[in-house]
Amino acid sequence: MSLLATGLLLITLTAAPAPQRVTLVFGGDVIPHEPIKKVAEKHARFAKDGTSLNDSGWGHVFGPLSPIFRGYDFAIVNLETPVTRREQKEVKEMLFNAPPELLAGLKSSGVDVATFANNHCLDMHPEGITNTRDALDEIGLLTAGAGRTEAEAWKPLILEKNGVRIALIAVSRWLNKFHNKGGPGDPHVPVVPYLEEPIGGGRTFDEFFAHVRETAKTVDAVIVAIHWGAEYVHEPMSYDRELARGILDAGAIAVIGHHPHVLQPVTPQRLRDGRTGVVAFSLGNLVSNQDYDVADGTKRDGLLLGLELTRTRPGGPVIITKVTPVGIGTENRTGKEKRNVQPVVLDDEVLAVKERLQALEERAGRVTTKERLHLLARLEILETRQRRVREMVGALPGLKSPLVQPGAVPMGAMPVR
């Protein structure tokens, strides 16, 4: 081959445009039950001048998930609470409120977006929505969902990275018997209500599908975060399956659900244009105090779902090129001195327990039966939780390589960026 031909070959190879990629990871419900607030308070650390060193302890609460969040271009969770400075606390376990330091803890752990469209948005009344939006702006967290006006509530959040534009739409199907009141200029929660529980200010399926279609015309991909389903039930409601199909047919590439507080299936869906979409019906809780007295309780199971979206050729469509499930569980240790609530990565915890057991075995003759039995019991719970998470994710049949799933890739594996 001549030098000229070789040079042309090199130019051809190096001139090929690189694929455009963006990675996102989604987590479930962030619920600030009073015991979690107390954990943050207990672990708060301050400098001599009074400056908080860990966001008044909320950095401790979310810290174990930070390596996962920081491994993605955008980390997105559901904020299941208003955020205000009001002193009013939970009432009958169903009225939530959290301090701005919770948001600071999310941001410091690597979260970029806190969606705010769920049945607790009006717990602190309409002014609580305004307070929450103001707090999110002040901390520097992006959001979609309940807004200071109706227009702000329905406005998609645009996320852009490496030339890929993604619209995130956040809506709820529940409002705890509340309703949107007032006019277009008043605080508003975007809702697509169930027929059994009509909500003032809600939109019908057809109206919402039109909103998704119009949004899809302006971006490369649409993702809908939706608060739906029956609490503590592991199977999606038939209404929600119908809604998910309609959302995808209207132009979304993924639907990410929460509210049941337990895991529900993650399934592939063939889109009308031949691409593959993903529906995660429920990611479970990111952190809560639910099942605090049940060590292997299913309300402690959670999932972080990583998506890699790629445009493989100039002008081509954006497709999902990788789905990465990361199983998590809420650690909830009781006792006056040992009280702690944290979400942890299951793979990391299993490895740590196995390493500890191995270290005990190497101390032959000095192994305490009590410690070994404690570790074995903990390992059994962690591995049970791992199996439950994998069963909900399944093999995701229909997703072509490189969309690899548990069994081909460890659950904690993440794309390196």
pLDDT digits (tens, 9 = 90+) for 168-213: 999 999 999 889 988 999 999 999 999 888 888 899 999 999 999 9
The average pLDDT across 379-407 equals 69
The pLDDT value recorded for residue 1 is 55
Q: Which of 28-32, 121-125, 334-338, 385-389 has the lowest mean pLDDT?
A: 334-338
Tell me what the pLDDT averaged over the chain comes to.
88
Higher-confidence residue of 105 and 417: namely 105
The pLDDT value recorded for residue 363 is 75
- 222 in Cβ contact with 167 (< 8 Å): yes
The pLDDT value recorded for residue 400 is 44
Strands 74-79 and 113-115 come out as parallel
Residues with Cβ within 8 Å of 377's Cβ and at least 6 positions away in sequence, in order, are none
Please compute, for residue 86, the number of CA atoms within 13 A of its CA located in the half-sphere on the CB side: 19
pLDDT digits (tens, 9 = 90+) for 111-136: 999 999 999 999 999 999 999 999 99
The pLDDT value recorded for residue 403 is 39
Amino acid at position 250, single letter: A
User: For residue 300, which of 365, 385, 229, 226 has the smallest C-alpha distance?
Assistant: 385
User: Maximum CA pair distance of the chain?
Assistant: 81
pLDDT digits (tens, 9 = 90+) for 40-76: 999 999 999 999 999 999 999 999 999 999 999 999 9
- 258 in Cβ contact with 381 (< 8 Å): no
The pLDDT value recorded for residue 211 is 98
Confidence of residue 413 (pLDDT cuts 50, 70, 90): very low
pLDDT at 220 over 90: yes
pLDDT digits (tens, 9 = 90+) for 131-162: 999 999 999 999 999 999 999 999 999 999 99
- 3-class DSSP assignment, residue 333: strand
The pLDDT value recorded for residue 79 is 98
The pLDDT value recorded for residue 286 is 98
The pLDDT value recorded for residue 368 is 75
Note if the bond before 402 is cis, omega within 30 degrees.
yes
H or E segment to which residue 328 belongs = strand 318-333
The pLDDT value recorded for residue 350 is 96
pLDDT at 104 over 60: yes
- 301 in Cβ contact with 316 (< 8 Å): no
The average pLDDT across 279-305 equals 96
pLDDT at 414 over 50: no
- 3-class DSSP assignment, residue 60: helix
Residues with Cβ within 8 Å of 417's Cβ and at least 6 positions away in sequence, in order, are 23, 71, 72, 73
Give the separation between CA 381 and CA 303, rounded to whole angstroms: 16
Domains and CATH numbers, the chain: 17-345 (3.60.21.10), 346-380 (no CATH)
Confidence of residue 103 (pLDDT cuts 50, 70, 90): very high
H or E segment to which residue 76 belongs = strand 74-79
The pLDDT value recorded for residue 198 is 82
pLDDT at 2 over 60: no
pLDDT digits (tens, 9 = 90+) for 358-388: 988 877 666 678 888 989 999 999 999 999 9
Give the separation between CA 22 and CA 44, rounded to whole angstroms: 35
The pLDDT value recorded for residue 349 is 95
Higher-confidence residue of 277 and 339: namely 277
The pLDDT value recorded for residue 10 is 55
